[in-house]
Amino acid sequence: MNDVGKMLVVLGLALAAIGLIVWGLGRSGFRGLPGDIKYEAQNVRIYFPIITCLLLSALLTAAIWVWQWLTRR
């Protein structure tokens, strides 16, 4: 049961760190990367962050690869 508690604390801290990063980016004026799709009409607003999603996917994949490489040693 101690392992589950430790895991929940680590996941909570990671989620809080991600929240602080997103909050800080929003306050600094970050509105997405070039290539993100934005459409605004009179009553419709659509935002699809395709480039941001691709970049985050690549970064997370690289982080997982590095984590696996470090834990195999």
18-37 pLDDT, tens digit each: 899 889 988 998 887 888 89
Asked if 37 and 16 sit in the same domain, the reply is no
For residue 66, the one-letter residue type is V
Asked if 38 and 72 sit in the same domain, the reply is yes
Which domain, by its residues, includes 69? 33-73
Asked if 39 and 14 sit in the same domain, the reply is no
Asked if 50 and 70 sit in the same domain, the reply is yes
Global pTM reads 0.60
Domain count, the chain: 2
Is the pLDDT assigned to residue 70 strictly greater than 80?
yes
Among 49, 54, 55, 53, smallest CA distance to 36 is for: 49
Asked if 40 and 65 sit in the same domain, the reply is yes
For residue 5, the one-letter residue type is G
Cα distances (Å, whole numbers) of residue 17 to 11, 32, 45, 50, 71: 10, 19, 29, 23, 23
> What are residue 59's DSSP bridge partners?
none
Asked if 38 and 70 sit in the same domain, the reply is yes
